[in-house]
Structure 1
């Protein structure tokens, strides 16, 4: 018999017991659909991370101070002097206070307060919706002014204009002078939408924050980024008398680290999903063994009229492969549907379908059917005609 006839025979046999076939394919369906969905979510996450980093530009450096005490203390004025160097375009030191109590009228919520200077907003590619950001005069006179992120402003004032209103942050009264446009998710560690921004020196004095822990630096161009990183590394090593008191990361390193972490998690989930495929393969082997037992007389008749061992082997092997292949196709369609529907369920989590991964998942499911169908097919091919015909 040619392969087309064998496939046709396998489809007729499968159609005769649709419910049993569906239950047999269930493990393969779940496995393939899980792989497709998880990979699409993982690739969507990686694409989202890359987009977020691109929105900040590719010429940004982040300096984190690791040590404590005077030996690793950064002075604001000394840092700003570095802007005179040609390889440094802009510097924005920050001091962050998480979980600050922000009170207006009878409403009180907790938000992150960021102390920084006027360079921070352009570095983070943020924009003003109303009012202004921190200016030099605020830094010099330690003015108690605040700029609200879009989400914070909406939570407290809705559609009303908050400019000029007084708010209480951890017992200190600040005047709102600006509101930011919605930016969306951020990879800088601080969300522009969910934060309140105040002058750095005001934050240091009002909230007793201590030393500058994080500083953002911008190189004039991406090509000068390595030179900028080398310069700031030399400066901090000389200032701290050590290279272990700080950490410097550029955009490419941060993006690669985040993408690699997302890929690692996705690969681990895919490995778990592949277990379903193996379980499905065991189910196929089990049902094929039952099928061989039920069709022993048929096997005997076919052998007695001239069917060879390889014909019987191929018949049952193709039947197992067709079952797993159909399960793979159903899983592929289900996984693609789930991937397309997922952003509707969770708008913050994009997905990105991959035709290549779908093809590999389908071929893997077919391979599982062939491998796990080999033993039952081999067992059927070894039956002796006389023993098979004696079977009830």
Structure 2
């Protein structure tokens, strides 16, 4: 019964000082909001990267220039760094790797910045854009798990024949088409539609009757473009894939041997190797290593397995999570100290009230409970508001931002609530004890 009465008095005390309560809660609200959002960002980034790399296949290998350094135990570790060295990988290495029986596919990658131009008969000047020029093979879509929005990908025969064919990323395609669409919007615009009122045009747009069929079919597939001044035929357009860390939207994909000719480059950036299965990956790695060494007397390359990359990323994200939790814990601690100071000032302002209550028979324990509950309610309410705001932000992000999704596991929710309650308990002890120790005679004489 005593606890219930103290709890009611705590509610009345908070209600009587609503403005001060709101200002005091603000620190806890911001702290809990930071815990929710920063944890969701860290976990979302980790989940997205893990899905992207994990989707490539746990048994996959990447051959890269330079040597991966070892850690304290002598094992190769990506986090220890990679010795800087220019790439010496060539297409001859790809040919040697393809001879290994246990290898299912080999995907060479040559990356550089390239310029692509497009001009139709109605344009005075060509549309031009720079993008990531990638020389690769027909297995690239399987490697990157990307689909086609229009057309097709170039075939193995076209790649081996060094055909001048190109597949465009969605952003490259839309950028090249932008000026053309702008001109044709004027030419194809319906004169009757111009006379419609704004609400009629909005209604037509909502029900889909104002879509111009001619504009919807605009595409560069089948058209000729210039890449580094050389004519290429567009055979396909990739689906938009603007996710964290890996995107093909700004890619210009051509056969790797064609890229070696057009760019006058001799070395590849990386080579991806897909074994036949997960069994015997270590043996396949040794066989691939031996195949590459045929043209590399010096060991100036490294073979990194997908599992090793995932382990390295997992360690980095764990460090990121610890850092973010440290920042948010500091924010919550500062908020708690601020609330404790506010409650101490509240005790000082309400000294005469405490003296009157004690003179009327209130015990020291009742006064202690009242001020302790006030602080606890303040922190709990602030934590609930911060949790609601954080959840709302995550829902808005996942509904509006496509680069990666935020994740709120249940342990983050529990951590936020328990942290706010714990801060309320810790920071409520001192002001409650200070109020309970006041002597009635001294409190009544306080001015």
Partner of 2:123: none
Higher alpha-carbon deviation: 212-221 or 127-136: 127-136
- Contact kept, 8 Å, 2:54 with 2:310, in 1: the verdict is no
How far apart, CA to CA, are the structure 2 residues paired with 1:297 and 1:357? Answer: 42
- Contact kept, 8 Å, 2:62 with 2:270, in 1: the verdict is yes
Equivalent position SS for 1:337: helix
Match of 1:179 among 213, 232, 236: 236
Partner of 2:412: 357
Q: What RMSD in Å do the two structures reach over aligned CA positions?
A: 2.6
Q: 1:310-368 deviations in whole A, cap 9, x for unaligned?
A: 44333222211111111111111111111111123423231222222112111111111
Q: Does 1:154 align with 2:174?
A: yes
TM-score (norm 1): 0.88
Match of 2:227 among 141, 154, 169: 169
Matches within 5 A, 1:110-259: 110-128=130-148, 129-140=150-161, 142-157=162-177, 159-176=217-234, 178-182=235-239, 184-185=241-242, 191-236=247-292, 240-243=296-299, 245-259=300-314
Residue 81 of structure 1: CA displacement?
3.0
Number of aligned positions between the proteins: 385
TM-score (norm 2): 0.78
Q: Give the 3 Å change call, closer, same or farther, for CA 376–60 of structure 1 in structure 2.
A: same
- Contact kept, 8 Å, 1:82 with 1:88, in 2: the verdict is yes
Equivalent position SS for 2:279: helix
Q: Does 1:296 align with 2:296?
A: no
- Contact kept, 8 Å, 2:336 with 2:427, in 1: the verdict is yes
- Contact kept, 8 Å, 1:31 with 1:276, in 2: the verdict is yes
Structure 1 unaligned residues grouped into runs of 5+:
none
Equivalent position SS for 1:162: coil
- Contact kept, 8 Å, 2:100 with 2:288, in 1: the verdict is no
Structure 2 unaligned residues grouped into runs of 5+:
67-83, 120-125, 179-216
How far apart, CA to CA, are the structure 1 residues paired with 2:157 and 2:243? Answer: 26
Partner of 1:77: 92
- Contact kept, 8 Å, 1:130 with 1:179, in 2: the verdict is yes
Q: Give the 3 Å change call, closer, same or farther, for CA 190–32 of structure 1 in structure 2.
A: closer
Matches within 5 A, 1:256-275: 256-275=311-330
Q: 1:73-95 deviations in whole A, cap 9, x for unaligned?
A: 33423432322323211111121
Equivalent position SS for 2:421: helix
